Structure 1
Amino acid sequence: MVRNSHPEHGLTDLLLLSSPKDIVRDTLITLYLQKFAVLIVYVDDIVLSGDDQAEINQLKQRMGNELEIKDLGNLKYFLGMEVARSKEGISVSQRKYTLDLLTEIGMLGCRPADTPIEFNCKLGNFDDQVPVDKEQYQRLVGKLIYLSHTRPDISFAVSAVSQFMQAPYEEHMEAVKRILRYLKTTPNKGLMFRKTNKKAIEAYTDSDWAGSVVDRKSTSSYCTFVWGNLVTWRILSDLHQGCETPLKLFCDNKSAISIANNPVQHDRTKRVEIDRHFIKERLDSGSICIPYIPSSQQIADVLTKGLLRPNFDFCVSKLGLIDIYVPT
């Protein structure tokens, strides 16, 4: 925590301490020295992490020379996110945020739901619908968007309801309440980042076909695992982590896999020629491979469509979401 007693010192002053190849993006400051250090900055709250305690201590001392700071110890709570450590790894959840949201809107005692969105649900705009309070709708969806940062199990449902922020109707509000009823069932769920020696990168991709009833656009999704834990490509790039084996892009469409691996171009595939060649180059270089996976095991399905509970529970478990507060 940075105290406000030295307003003459801005955060940009600290950036002069870094080497030219350091990366600075808005609230993320990354120092690439012999060791690795990263600062996440939000107003006067800072998270400092790295791979060497001596480097971390030195950086804290240098910051303390410029600003009045308070060391709160190991990270436990940051911007509504609860962080906990165990022998298995590090968990990130938003239990308090979830319960506070349900209490605020009077749904703490609501009827729970097994999934955040109904199976094969298609939301749209129709003339016979009744409009609802737009400000309340936007506020609720905004809170759900923030919650989805640690809850990928609600990402698709939140994405669906966020498309109607400008003109919400009763159908859309009912979909929002469905998400809240699901959160009532699962307030303790959070992401677990487990300790592992598995040095592999795996990705799952999925897409529906013109699934939107409004504009007939398709919904595409992917989820990426590094060392068995759910991450994003942006984080992977910033951390400069390599991979000992080709990146596995699991796909449940055999035709798409055949097109990607086929060196012969056909008239029927000329519309995707540029994208196909980009993928083919990656396949030829050995940086990726595209193994087939049955649709029943396609984890990315949970990010593109509403699923029945058995399929939904399977995907959620594979994403690394667990009940943080269940004794192990």
Structure 2
Amino acid sequence: MVYKFIFLYVDDIILTDNDHNAIQSLLHDLHSTFALKQLGQINLFLGIQVQHTPQGLFLTQAHYAATLLNTAGMTDCISSPTPLAPTSKSKPSTDQPFQDPSLYRRLAGSLQYLSITQPDIAFATNRACQHMQSPTVQNFQDIKRILRYIKGTINFSLPIVTGDLQLQSYSDADWA
């Protein structure tokens, strides 16, 4: 099986292929048209750190998460075991408006970006982002809950390893 990927963002490019000659050929073609600087193995791309291990690659945004916790003033907070309270319901809130909507939007948007390497916060973050127009104090408490979860999982990473590429799914639904 042959895998070829080209990731491009403004002036950053990542090339990957399981055929070394194909990469060299593409690099030669690109060099003939553009001025390129080859930096070797990837270590950082768009704020995502790439850690190389014998098992594969691990993507992490630990530095970004730490910066986000600092922005929210939660560097010394107690961690939470889950990003969303178990009894959370999506219902219209009659809570008072949050006094700094721009802070709420900034934190919610940052959490969206963090979900690239921490997909476990995607649902809770999506729920928080549904209140960007007029966030309430309770909505901000929900954001703080996600941030407390991030505090406890700051060193988690997303693995990219070789192996079986067969898609599997599981369900605990009872259709009886």
Q: TM-score, normalised by structure 1?
A: 0.51
In 1, Cα distance between equivalents of 2:107 and 2:136? 14
Matches of residues 140-179 of structure 1 in structure 2 within 5 Å?
140-179=107-146
Bigger CA radius of gyration: 1
Contact 2:3-2:18 within 8 A present in 1 as well: yes
Matches of residues 216-227 of structure 1 in structure 2 within 5 Å?
none
Matches of residues 12-91 of structure 1 in structure 2 within 5 Å?
36-91=3-58
Q: CA deviation at 1:143?
A: 0.4
2:84 corresponding residue in structure 1: 117
In 1, Cα distance between equivalents of 2:32 and 2:156? 40
1:253 corresponding residue in structure 2: 173
SS of the counterpart of 1:183?
helix
- Paired residue total: 175
2:149 corresponding residue in structure 1: 182
Among 99, 105, 109, the alignment partner of 1:138 is 105
Q: CA deviation at 1:109?
A: 1.1
1:312 corresponding residue in structure 2: none
Q: CA deviation at 1:36?
A: 4.7
Tell which deviates more after alignment, 37-46 or 102-111. 102-111
Map Cα deviations across residues 59-97 of structure 1 (whole Å, 9 max, x no partner): 111111111111011111101111112111211111111
In 1, Cα distance between equivalents of 2:53 and 2:140? 39
Contact 2:62-2:154 within 8 A present in 1 as well: yes
1:324 corresponding residue in structure 2: none
The structure whose RCO (Cα within 8 Å, separation 6+) is larger is 2
Matched, 1:100 2:67: yes
In 2, Cα distance between equivalents of 1:169 and 1:175? 10
Contact 1:123-1:172 within 8 A present in 2 as well: no
SS of the counterpart of 2:168?
strand
Q: TM-score, normalised by structure 2?
A: 0.91
In 2, Cα distance between equivalents of 1:181 and 1:252? 28
Q: CA deviation at 1:124?
A: 3.0
SS of the counterpart of 2:8?
strand
Q: 1:199 to 1:152 in 2, by over 3 A?
A: closer
SS of the counterpart of 1:164?
coil
Gaps of 5+ in 2: none
Contact 1:123-1:171 within 8 A present in 2 as well: no
Matched, 1:201 2:167: yes
In 1, Cα distance between equivalents of 2:8 and 2:165? 29
Q: CA deviation at 1:182?
A: 1.1
In 2, Cα distance between equivalents of 1:47 and 1:139? 28
Taking every aligned residue pair, what percent have the same amino acid on both sides?
33
In 2, Cα distance between equivalents of 1:116 and 1:36? 35
Q: 1:39 to 1:186 in 2, by over 3 A?
A: same
Q: CA deviation at 1:125?
A: 2.6
1:240 corresponding residue in structure 2: none
